[in-house]
Structure 1
Amino acid sequence: MTAPLLAACDAGPDSSTDGNAVTLTVMYKNNELTKEHIADFEAKNPGININFIEYDGTRLNAMLASNEPPDFVRGAAVGSAAGNAQGLATELDPYLDKSTVLKKEDLLPVNDSFRWDGKRIGQGPYYGLAKDWSQDATLWYNKALFEQARIPPLSTTEPVSYDELLEIAKKLTQKSGGKTQVYGLGVEWAWNLWAPISMMILQQGGQVYNADLTETDMTTPQAVRALRWYVDFARAGVGPSVLDPAPDGADLSLFLGKRMAITQDGYWYGGNFAKESDEIKNNVAMAPAPVMGDKRVSPTYAGWGAYIPTNATHKNEAWKLMEYFMAGPPSVERAKSGWGIPGLKSQLPLMPQELPYQKQAYQTAQAELQYAGQLPDSPYIGGAGGWDPVLSKHLQRAIKNEITVEAAGRAITDEVNKLLKQGKDQIG
């Protein structure tokens, strides 16, 4: 968020309206908060009407900057530090403390990335809640392609190392006539570089930022090793990259078309397979996130949810929608769908286990929860949005042998530190 600091006071959960019907302005995605959900909420809450706006980041920033924000907004846990440092979100603890349906003790740790103590995430009050999430570095693979290549399948309980994964991907890759027929591994290159590289650094015991989150150093041994893996991956040609992008910018069509053996996607990816052919459903499996180093860290890259802006007009009504969306019928639908892990501990048993692949993925996901961890979040850059253009540019130079990996690390450090300084100067 680039809107300026908002200084309005939080009226708190005891503030009241004059008893007249209110219109709650909501900015979300219509495939997540549906017309049916809205109608159900309005029926259960007479006097509250919803004015729905399809989520649009540019429009949201304009509304925040003009002090006319929506009352309820879609937002990600990872990356929330920027908005919280600017005072854009309402503290939710007073509401949580009084709620009979949303309890702090029921919140899974993914919600901790929505917490902010004035300096960093992970502690202090909650400023948003996650609707669902996934540990996005886990692996989905096609067992049939492993069998064709005469390679043992990945373990669904023990993580593979990143180095081993690359070697396996090379064996799975099939090329003919100068074209790739089957990719060994997809890493959703077009979606996010910052999060997986940050995870690799954490797994080695390294740090992405300094103590006050104002500087990075991508020349450390841990950072260089992570960057080198991505360079080696692209040079090996085992999966889509900046030099060989996926046709539609994502792995799914390749994976469903049996043209990709492994894809690095979270638990949510399993939602794609429930209505596919038996050939797909009977051959997909989910494996733990790979590791680089001795420390298992398997975080979410986003953790989408919602927050209530500081200058929202109808906070009490927005909280009622928060309770309905996060703990009511929409949350039950989400949990049962397999399109993500719930944000509430009490809803974990609702995750689907009817199909064999769903049961296997459920077991792997449950075991993986203990390694969730948190990605670092500096309020001065905003995660992937600030990092990825810089990472992509210099990784591409290293892949083409225009510079060394070490030189790429220095260039990334210089550029990102400039962005961090700009962000700190803006926030103050």
Structure 2
Amino acid sequence: MNPEITRRRFLARSALTAGGVATVLSGCNAGTSGSSSNGGSGGTVTLIVMYNNNELTKEHIAGFEKANPGIRIEFIQTDATRLNAMLASGNPPDLVRATAVGSANTNARGLAADLTPYLEKSKVLRADDLLEVNDSFRWDGSRIGQGPRYGIVKDWSQDATLWYNTKLFDKAEVPHLSDTEPIGHDELLAMSKKLTTRSGGKAQVYGLGLEWAWNLWAPIMTMIMQQGEQVYSDDLTKVDLNTAAARRAISWYVDFGRAGVGPTSLDPLPDGADLSTFLAQRMAITQDGYWYGGNFVKEAALQGSIRMAPAPVMGDTRVSPTYAGVGAYIPAKAKHKDEAWKLMEYFMAGPPAEERAKSGWGLPALQSLLPKLPQDLPYQKQAFAVAQAELTHAKPLPDSPYVTNDTCSSIIDKHLQRAIKNQASAEEACKAITDEINQKLKQGKEQIG
């Protein structure tokens, strides 16, 4: 099992089913004094939390309960089906794992509590310390990025950045990527062809991995934004992928698939992720965020040849977004919002947050924690410098409440496959993708109102 792969897959997808049995991960603290607001024993408040147990660990829970003896946590592993049922019944968890990108749907349905009053009073979590990635949890009633805050990010990465293996570059006599200047997508594809090696008609070394199985919609939106164009209509009810910018982005993916320089859904990796292939030095470049560097801490043989590079560009505008931004929200109908906020403070800004920052598994969501990112190893120092410079180009992806990124990615994948197999042109794929996504947007609009 690769916990690293699991973690990244959760970053890319906000609604994965991972088991639905509620599990108490720590003691009941039955001897705590005070009145119980939910019938818990000994006056203890039971806080129901839905999260991933490789992120909010037993140790974190024990630390929180020790610091807050009047609160006991009942833990539920992330389960989209169970969460929907709990929300529908009016008995949601008190704290829920969620991604900032994709939160528009939850906020438009009024399912999350406004955290602004808590932030205004908190001495631990301050609005002026929140990095811009947190703005994707904001919702003003019509769009993200402004208005009240409905969630807090725990960690994130700019997912369009690149990691590469200098040994494979040197072997192919390809110049290394710049630490500061982004490579163009067309140049990147040409480079990937030089880096790809084959034997018996099969790729022995892939030139470029795009984590195709995880996300297509977010990187294509990024490409379009880099060309100075928009994806959605102003009211977020329609998309247009028939524009020149969108056709260029879709055509690039078709060319990538036809070139055979990296995994696609037509040529998938057995484990659905780049990591094992990259670690085996059978992939020269992989498109992954800063978090990816955590994989190399124990890979001494690779550390000297691993480097990070800025997000590639398609156009004149540098855009380097996060595709997810994992965090949490407090449901509007949660029974214990005050206690949930205490856990939010502890998990997002307390010891677990410092621990995450020092580990290098993602960027912290707080400005004050950025200096704690690891720089002990040479590759960590190099990646830190690239990531710091890349922050200047972090921009939020648009987010419609009427469709999910996963739905859009599935639609795109279906039509990319047809184009790659020469069953449709790139232009025909753009039209079909536009029509299908717009139909989903219409259905979503009708459901939400």
TM-score strictly above 0.5: yes
1:424 alignment counterpart: 445
2:133 alignment counterpart: 110
Residue identity matched to 2:281: K
Asked whether 1:158 is paired with 2:181, we answer: yes
Gaps of 5+ in 1: 3-15
1:211-247 deviation digits (Å, cap 9, x = unpaired): 1000001100000000000000010000001211112
1:403 alignment counterpart: 424
Q: Distance in 2 between matches of 1:30 and 1:319?
A: 19
State the Cα distance separating 1:186 from its structure 2 match.
Answer: 0.2
2:5 alignment counterpart: none
Match 1:86 to one of 72, 92, 109: 109
2:375 alignment counterpart: 353
State the Cα distance separating 1:279 from its structure 2 match.
Answer: 2.3
Asked whether 1:130 is paired with 2:153, we answer: yes
2:337 alignment counterpart: 315
Match 2:397 to one of 375, 379, 383: 375
2:322 alignment counterpart: 300
Q: What do you get for the CA RMSD once the two structures are aligned?
A: 1.2
1:68 alignment counterpart: 91
Q: Distance in 2 between matches of 1:375 and 1:17?
A: 43
Q: Distance in 2 between matches of 1:76 and 1:282?
A: 33
SS in 2 for 1:131: strand
Q: Distance in 2 between matches of 1:136 and 1:72?
A: 26
Match 1:363 to one of 376, 385, 390: 385
Q: Distance in 1 between matches of 2:386 and 2:66?
A: 39
Match 1:283 to one of 305, 314, 321: 305
Match 2:123 to one of 95, 100, 113: 100
State the Cα distance separating 1:386 from its structure 2 match.
Answer: 1.7
SS in 2 for 1:245: coil
Give the number of aligned pairs. Answer: 413
Q: Distance in 2 between matches of 1:385 and 1:160?
A: 27
SS in 1 for 2:43: coil
Residue identity matched to 1:425: E
1:292-322 deviation digits (Å, cap 9, x = unpaired): 0000000000000000001101000000000
Q: Distance in 2 between matches of 1:331 and 1:191?
A: 26
Asked whether 1:142 is paired with 2:134, we answer: no
1:148-174 deviation digits (Å, cap 9, x = unpaired): 011111111110000000000000000
1:123-150 deviation digits (Å, cap 9, x = unpaired): 0010000000000000000000001011
2:61 alignment counterpart: 38
1:330 alignment counterpart: 352
Q: Distance in 1 between matches of 2:238 and 2:204?
A: 42
Residue identity matched to 1:242: S
Residue identity matched to 2:316: D
Residue identity matched to 2:94: D
State the Cα distance separating 1:178 from its structure 2 match.
Answer: 1.1
Q: Distance in 2 between matches of 1:106 and 1:92?
A: 15
Match 2:208 to one of 167, 170, 185: 185
Residue identity matched to 2:51: Y
Asked whether 1:392 is paired with 2:409, we answer: no
Gaps of 5+ in 2: 1-13, 16-34
Asked whether 1:22 is paired with 2:38, we answer: no
SS in 2 for 1:52: strand
SS in 2 for 1:211: coil
Match 1:344 to one of 355, 358, 366: 366
Alignment of 1:212-291 (within 5 A): 212-276=235-299, 278-291=300-313
SS in 2 for 1:209: coil
SS in 1 for 2:47: strand
State the Cα distance separating 1:17 from its structure 2 match.
Answer: 7.1
1:8 alignment counterpart: none
Residue identity matched to 1:427: I
SS in 1 for 2:141: coil
SS in 2 for 1:289: coil
Q: Distance in 2 between matches of 1:151 and 1:394?
A: 33
TM-score (normalised: structure 2)? 0.91
Residue identity matched to 2:189: L
